[in-house]
Amino acid sequence: MNKQNTIGSVGIIGAGAIGQAMAKQLARAGIPVILSNSRGPDSLAAVVDQLGPNARAGTVRQAAEADIVFLSVTWAAVRPALEGIDLRGKILIDATNPVLLPGFRLAELGGRNSSQVLSGLVPGARVVKAFNTLLASVLAADPQQNGGRRVVFISGDDAPAKTIVAALADRLGFASIDLGSLEVGGALQQFPGGPLPAVNLVKLA
């Protein structure tokens, strides 16, 4: 099956710096993207105008109806953002980090990592941790760098879902490295606590 046909549309829940950076990459690659936030579509009119014809603003529920859902809200907003949304069978890209402000404190996770906690909030969703380790300015920049491609890390317990997210990364121009399960890879990717956040690697051809 063609990679392009496996991806379809992407709905982004959370229109902060990371959400907008991802929307920019998706729109640039010709992938339909629905950008949403807690304030409603009207608040995003100027943003989607800049992103071009492949992007539109929608409600959180409309974003959750896309083929792939990308979550990029603050940790305090995770539960409210997901409330009342059924993501069973959906690929949910977890780009969140369990940071509490002020002070960049690690949230209480009960001995698990944040992606494991998130998985418990979305029963039946196919959670893949990805795109959370790069700074927003880096994520928004051209992934083709110095003769190679910028690396994104991927973790998850659903192998086919990880394959699709890797295909998405590839179509956007990134290289991907599979770190294994949410338990192992999710801990490596987590900020604060893991060793990989803000690590900017380029994979040479």
Residue 152 clears pLDDT 60, i.e. is over it? yes
The CATH code of the domain at 3-204 is 3.40.50.720
Q: How does the average pLDDT of the chain come out, rounded?
A: 95
Q: Please tell me what DSSP assigns to residue 193.
A: T
Residue 53 clears pLDDT 90, i.e. is over it? yes
Residue 74 clears pLDDT 80, i.e. is over it? yes
- Mean pLDDT for 180-188 is 98
First to last CA, the chain: 24
Residues 14-35 have pLDDT tens digits of 999 999 999 999 999 999 999 9
Q: Where are the domains of the chain?
A: 3-204
**Per-residue pLDDT, 7:** 85
**Per-residue pLDDT, 6:** 63
Read off the tokens for 63.
Answer: 């974003």
CA 92 to chain centre: 8
Closest CA to 33 of 17, 19, 43, 18: 19
CA 93 to chain centre: 4
Length, in residues, of the chain: 205
Q: Per the confidence metrics, is the pTM higher than 0.85?
A: yes
Closest CA to 38 of 9, 58, 67: 58
Residues 95-146 have pLDDT tens digits of 999 999 888 899 999 999 999 999 999 999 999 999 999 999 999 999 998 8
